[in-house]
Amino acid sequence: MEPNLGKIEKLVRQILVELGEDPRREGLVKTPERVAKALAFLTHGYRTKLGAVINKALFTQTTSSMVIVKDIELYSLCEHHMLPFFGRCHIGYIPDGKVFGVSKLARLVDMFARRLQLQERLTEDISQVVMREVGAKGVGVMIEARHLCMMMRGVEKQNSTMVTSSVLGVFRDHLATREEFLTLIKKT
Ligand SMILES: [Zn+2]
């Protein structure tokens, strides 16, 4: 369901008043409208269909060497503060006959990142869907991200990066496979 932008605008205007602002002043007149549109965009992952993202972009692959896609840009909103967290996502998997088109992995990351998230759950969501949709023998996902809720408020730790990983299948069972993944994503 599409969000009701008019309703969000009204609520944002109310928030501005509560914060002691005058929503009628020049710089703020269009702010509620902009915020409503931005929020709708930043949460479009709720309304994205997995089928539309993957869209049959699976290709036959006979080898079973590891596929790695590194440094996929990631922008999300933490569900505790609705403040951004952003960073990079690395995905590795061992195909079992099929591989994803590369751009599809990036769109998959977006689909899960564009909603209110926890970094841990985002990492899990991505690994599970790659495992299931590609029918891989194993999947590893690592996300390195910085959280504005930590950097701008609270503990104000400006330089800390949160790292989360999720490993499934052979990535979980075989230490060597997991290590190969970690080595490959660290190479620049
Ligand atoms: Zn937060």
Look at residue 51 in the predicted model and tell me its pLDDT. 85
* Closest by Cα among 94, 99, 104 to 126: 104
Helix axes 119-134, 102-113, angle to 10 degrees: 140
Look at residue 156 in the predicted model and tell me its pLDDT. 64
Look at residue 68 in the predicted model and tell me its pLDDT. 92
Look at residue 179 in the predicted model and tell me its pLDDT. 93
Q: What is the distance in A from the centroid of ligand 1 to the CA of 77?
A: 8
Look at residue 34 in the predicted model and tell me its pLDDT. 98
Residue 102 has pLDDT above 90, yes or no: no
Confidence of residue 114 (pLDDT cuts 50, 70, 90): very high
Q: What is the distance in A from the centroid of ligand 1 to the CA of 104?
A: 28
- Sign (positive/negative) of CA torsion 171, 54, 45, 145? positive
Look at residue 188 in the predicted model and tell me its pLDDT. 62
Q: What is the distance in A from the centroid of ligand 1 to the CA of 143?
A: 16
Contact 137, 96 (CB under 8 A): yes
For 118-148, write each residue's pLDDT tens digit.
999 999 999 999 999 888 999 999 999 999 9
Q: How many CB atoms are located within 10 Å of the residue 161 CB?
A: 13
Q: What is the distance in A from the centroid of ligand 1 to the CA of 137?
A: 34
φ, ψ of residue 165 in degrees (nearest 5)? -140, 155
Q: What is the distance in A from the centroid of ligand 1 to the CA of 84?
A: 8
* Closest by Cα among 142, 139, 131 to 164: 142
* Closest by Cα among 65, 62, 12 to 36: 12
Residues in the chain: 188
DSSP structure class, residue 66:
P
Instruction: Give the up-direction half-sphere exposure of residue 17: CA atoms within 13 A in the CB hemisphere.
Output: 7
For 14-73, write each residue's pLDDT tens digit.
999 999 999 999 999 999 999 999 999 999 999 999 888 877 677 787 777 899 999 999
Q: What is the distance in A from the centroid of ligand 1 to the CA of 82?
A: 7
Percent of the chain with pLDDT over 90: 74
Residues by chain with Cβ below 5 Å of ion ligand 1 = 78, 80-81, 149
Q: What is the distance in A from the centroid of ligand 1 to the CA of 45?
A: 19
Q: What is the distance in A from the centroid of ligand 1 to the CA of 177?
A: 33
Tokens of 11: 């609520």
Helix axes 5-18, 31-42, angle to 10 degrees: 120
Distance of alpha carbon 143 from alpha carbon 36, whole angstroms: 28
Q: What is the distance in A from the centroid of ligand 1 to the CA of 124?
A: 18
Radius of gyration of the chain from its Cα atoms, rounded to whole angstroms:
20
Q: What is the distance in A from the centroid of ligand 1 to the CA of 108?
A: 22
Distance of alpha carbon 33 from alpha carbon 166, whole angstroms: 38
Contact 106, 53 (CB under 8 A): no
